[in-house]
Amino acid sequence: MMRGKWAVLLLLASVGGAAQAVDYGHQSYLLHCAGCHLPDGSGSKPNDVPSLHGIPGHFARIPEGRAFLTQVPGIAYSPLSNAEVAEILNWMLLEYSKDTLPADFVPFTEAEVERLRAERPAEIFKVRELVLGRLQQLGIRIDY
């Protein structure tokens, strides 16, 4: 992972003549998440890959939703460090779900991701249904 970050930085430096700021959250999203969620975060309904537009911001409102975001297979089983996962989740939430984040949103930390990511539910779709049900109890209905 670090080698990839340096390659991007060197490429930007050689193209622009000077190093430019690199948004690692975005770069990591493109490398590790865009294959399923697509580069624009729109997801794929036929493949049961949800859009990231608005939905994860609602999930970040409740503890079980925050946990779910760290336990989806692409995150839970990825080789990314907990710090990298926190960086991607925070970037994704602010990029695609800023309007649905709670006013008191607290960004994910490495320690939180480590704690939540340690649990890997065998039936993640059932966990998602439970989170959706809890959100519905709070008046937030999400249709996939």
Residue 86 covered by a domain: yes
β-strand partners of 44 = 49
* pLDDT tens digits, 90-104: 999 999 999 999 999
* pLDDT tens digits, 102-140: 999 999 999 999 999 999 999 999 999 999 999 999 999
Residue 122 covered by a domain: yes
Residue 112, domain extent: 49-144
Q: pTM of the entire structure?
A: 0.80
β-strand partners of 49 = 44
Tell me how many domains the chain contains: 1
C-alpha closest to that of 30 among 77, 88, 85: 88
Residue 138 covered by a domain: yes
